[in-house]
Amino acid sequence: MNIVQIYKQFPDHASCIKHLEKVRWNNIAECPYCNSTNTTPVPKELRYHCNNCNTSFSVTVGTVFHKTKLDLQKWFLAVSLVLNAKKGISARQLARDINVTKDTAWYMQMRLRKAMVEYGELLEGIIECDETYVGGKNRHNNKKTKGGQGRGGEDKTPVIGILERGGKVKARKAETFPVKPLNPSSNRM
Ligand SMILES: [Zn+2]
């Protein structure tokens, strides 16, 4: 996805949270500490209370987005910019692009790059899948089959490749993205 698509699809923090909840949990919240699904939503805080171990959590726990005060939309944009930059992007440039300080941009880059280095191939696969998916989505505008794609096309982004568990990135390529033949030339925007 390019940044315009991300801006449109994820207009605010809440929509980013929703997206992560869908791709990580399939909308059924699961406590990251005890794996219980016996939870009570706390909608105002975009969090959940675990009725089993009595902790509170949000979908970002254990992901690269965890413990950041930054708006998730900026993270999503940063992911797009960093992953799509063929020759890399400087912290200064990233800072300008998403309107954060250079230090913040540097920190975001470090986290994202670490995730990419550790699981580069998987991430790359996900980006390719995503591009394929975007192409698929466009085709869908012509012949839309309801429910045919399982989880729907609009909210696929490379972002999901950055999910982390226990400090490790967890890429969910197979689960998250329908496998389709790659045809990059027709899918580049
Ligand atoms: Zn729990």
The pLDDT value given to residue 103: 95
Q: State phi, psi for 13 to the nearest 5 degrees.
A: -60, -45
Burial class (CB in 10 A: 0-12, 13-18, 19+), 186: exposed
Separation of 45 CA from ligand 1 center, angstroms? 17
Average pLDDT of span 128-154 = 38
- Write out the two tokens for 78: 């940063």
Separation of 48 CA from ligand 1 center, angstroms? 10
Average pLDDT of span 140-165 = 42
- Write out the two tokens for 113: 């790059």
- Write out the two tokens for 141: 């505008």
The pLDDT value given to residue 118: 66
Question: In this predicted model, what pLDDT tens digit does every residue of 70-117 receive, in sequence order?
Answer: 888 998 888 888 877 878 889 999 999 999 999 999 999 888 877 777
Separation of 104 CA from ligand 1 center, angstroms? 31
Separation of 51 CA from ligand 1 center, angstroms? 7
Separation of 23 CA from ligand 1 center, angstroms? 20
d(CA 50, CA 144): 38
Average pLDDT of span 128-148 = 37
Separation of 122 CA from ligand 1 center, angstroms? 29
Separation of 118 CA from ligand 1 center, angstroms? 28
- Write out the two tokens for 125: 């696969």
Separation of 174 CA from ligand 1 center, angstroms? 27
User: By three-state DSSP, how is residue 21 classified?
Assistant: helix
Using a CB cutoff of 5 Å, list residues around ligand 1, an ion: 31, 33-34, 36, 50, 52-53
Q: State phi, psi for 101 to the nearest 5 degrees.
A: -75, 165
The pLDDT value given to residue 160: 43
The pLDDT value given to residue 120: 53
Separation of 32 CA from ligand 1 center, angstroms? 7
Nearest to 148, CA basis, from 118, 178, 183? 178
Helices 72-84, 102-118: axis angle to 10 degrees equals 60
Separation of 90 CA from ligand 1 center, angstroms? 39
The pLDDT value given to residue 92: 95
User: What residues contact 25, with CB distance under 8 A and at least 6 apart?
Assistant: 59
d(CA 12, CA 165): 25
The pLDDT value given to residue 8: 87
User: What residues contact 53, with CB distance under 8 A and at least 6 apart?
Assistant: 31, 33, 34, 36
d(CA 29, CA 138): 30
Separation of 38 CA from ligand 1 center, angstroms? 8
Query: Does the pLDDT at position 18 exceed 50?
Result: yes
- The model's confidence at residue 3, banded by pLDDT at 50, 70 and 90, is confident
Contact, 7 vs 98, CB < 8 A?
Answer: no
